[in-house]
A and B are shown apart, each in its own frame.
Chain A
Amino acid sequence: MRIEKPAQAGTLESNDIYVQILPNPREEIEIRLKSVVMLQFGKQIRQVAMQTLNEKGITSCILNLEDKGALDYTIRARIESAVERSLC
């Protein structure tokens, strides 16, 4: 499934993550990540983001993530929320 409509979720508060999901002209998922814990958890955050998009059946989008030290469950919740907002 392609993302056609931009949407966002989350905040820039500590322990949260701000998620923006946008249409991607190409048939692929592009994740752009900024994180306060990039060194320690950059890979893991990308992994969780990709997994969440896969579970939601998304095949094409640009996902902008600005992470303020969110735990995995928050990352999942915020991405799901952005996807649902985009699809509705």
Chain B
Amino acid sequence: MKNALGRDVPGQPYLGLQAIKRIEYKQTKSDKEERKDKVHYDLGSFIKTLALEDNMTLSFHHHLRNGDFVMNQVMAEVAKSGVKNLTICASSIFPVHAPLVALIEQKTITKIIASYVSGPVADAISEGKVEEVCLLQTHGYRATSIMSEETPIDIAFIAAPACSPDGNITGSMGPSSCGVLGYAIADAWYAKQVVAVTDFLVDVLDPEIPSVCVDDIVKVDRIGDPDGIVSGTTKITRDPVGLRIAKLTSEFMKATGLLKNGFTFQTGAGGISLAVAKEIHELCLDENIKGKFASGGITSYLVKMLEDGVFEELYDVQCFELDAVESIKRNPNHHKMSAAKYADIHDPDNIVNQLDFVILGATEIDLDFNVNVTTGSDGRIMGGSGGHADTAYGAKFAIIVSKLVSSRISVVVDQVTTITTPGETVDVLVTDRGIAIHPRHQALIDHLKATTNLPIVEIQTLYQRALALTGIPEKTQNLGRIVALSQYRDGTILDVIRQIDNID
């Protein structure tokens, strides 16, 4: 069936923003009776005691990022039990999770649900090795689908940087401290069974996940590698073209009139996005503007902005850097939040809905402003929405920043390979060769053309400018089997991702 964006999809098609329905969640386990003696000291023998069955869904969070040991350790033990056809519901999967590929090949794992996948597991999905159709969800919808039991979790394994013997968990302490556990909260409250895996048993006074959620605790030697927990990508770009884009972006933001006291802001950790943060930082200091909050994944740079008084508060769903981990411990205005508080579509007070601006990247953006951050232009999975579609929906201005052309590839295309974020939620594209504003903002376009020197053009013009440089790329049509679905924040299907040949 064709969805509202013209893509043929199986299941529940995306019908546009107007068609999104609200739902209520069932009660959670807040009054459950707690067991005593939860702590186990051997992961292997503990997993043997679990009532594992074929077709179960196991969940994991990704706060330890590419330094995570837990998913590999747990799955290696689970595989020994001989169960098959498991679904892995992980908030993200990184290159460090390469050992899962063998479990995929032996059919221990036959389905993956995640918000972001990169590395060998992403290749395994793209190459059709995963038997069932996988789901690529937004950060918000992952929480929604767990809480609504669209995705019932049988056992949640929660990597716990610090855990008390009765099961109070925090991400802000311990040798593998990662600051926040925002993406694990829904799992903790809604999974049928919850297992904390920790390397630091200690009293926890201010838990993110309370003991009532936790059934068992397994003490292991190490849950992660601190070097891998901190992302390596969070550097402000030094590329003059990137800096130019950042400057144009801040000028655009100023010209909208929304960059004033009380403004709210989110930016990713990409080089250009961080450069935008720097421009906004300087502009706010110069003009004495104080924002209400910045949100999302928190970098050192946003911590600096908080400390310089540019923002009153930070809402943190994930710490990208050690500075953020440190800040959240000591600064009362640096708040932890769950994925649901951040982006659950059925929570009207969620943080994304309060955003004025979000700065986002794109692998491709098409003439209808649909954005792809899920696959490369060859169709190979190399990421996923994360919070892209959630924040684009919520923010007044979802601003995509990108070079128009890099290494002969244009970011503007006639049709994106995979729709991650629908164009009706994307507002602006800022490139080094011009700014395109979605035509639904015609009044703003007229206003900015009359009052500023911003290089505002139609997105078609940017497309033509790019083609003039690159030439016209060859079209490839992929008719391979569907290996994954790009799922919107209400659970509807935006697009399909097909199997690609394993070529270099």
- Identify the A interface with B (CB < 8 A): 14-15, 36-37, 39-44, 68-72
Contacts and interface: CB of A to CB of B under 8 A. Distances in A.
A14 B239 CA distance: 13
Interface of B: 377-378, 406-409, 469-471, 473-474, 476
A66 B473 CA distance: 18
Contacts of B378: 39
A82 to B, nearest CB: 20
Contacts of B407: 14-15, 36-37, 68-69
A42 B474 CA distance: 9
Nearest to A73: B469
Contacts of A40: 377, 408-409, 473-474
Given A36-B407, A40-B409, 14 more contacts: A14-B406, A15-B406, A15-B407, A36-B408, A37-B407, A37-B409, A37-B473, A40-B408, A40-B474, A43-B474, A69-B409, A71-B469, A71-B470, A71-B471
B408 A69 contact: yes
B474 A71 contact: no
A70 B476 contact: no
Contacts of A42: 474
Nearest to A48: B471
Contacts of A71: 408, 469-471
A39 B409 contact: no
A39 B474 CA distance: 7
Contacts, number: 40
A41 B469 contact: no
Contacts of B469: 71
A71 B378 CA distance: 19
B406 A41 contact: no
A69 B473 contact: no
A53 B377 CA distance: 31
Nearest to A47: B471
A41 B476 contact: no
Given A40-B474, A41-B473, A69 B406 contact: yes
Given A44-B471, A72-B471, A37 B476 contact: no
A39 to B, nearest CB: 5
Contacts of A15: 406-408
Nearest to B471: A44
A36 B407 CA distance: 8
Interface centre among A14, A15, A37 (most CB of B within 10 A): A37
A49 to B, nearest CB: 14
B406 to A, nearest CB: 7
B106 to A, nearest CB: 32
Nearest to A39: B378
A40 B377 CA distance: 9
B314 to A, nearest CB: 35
B403 to A, nearest CB: 11
A15 B469 CA distance: 12
A69 B409 CA distance: 8
A15 B18 CA distance: 43
14 contacts: A14-B406, A15-B407, A37-B408, A39-B474, A40-B377, A41-B470, A43-B474, A44-B471, A69-B406, A69-B408, A71-B408, A71-B469, A71-B471, A72-B471
B476 to A, nearest CB: 6
A44 B407 CA distance: 15
A39 B471 contact: no
A44 B469 CA distance: 13
A58 B469 CA distance: 27
Contacts of A69: 406-409
A71 B476 CA distance: 20
Contacts of A72: 471
A50 B409 CA distance: 22
Given A14-B407, A69-B408, A69-B409, A39 B476 contact: yes
A11 B469 CA distance: 20
Contacts of B377: 39-40
B363 to A, nearest CB: 13
B464 to A, nearest CB: 16
A41 B474 CA distance: 6
Interface centre among B378, B471, B476 (most CB of A within 10 A): B471
Nearest to A36: B407
Contacts of A36: 407-408
Nearest to B379: A39
Contacts of B408: 15, 36-37, 40-41, 69-71
A39 B473 CA distance: 8
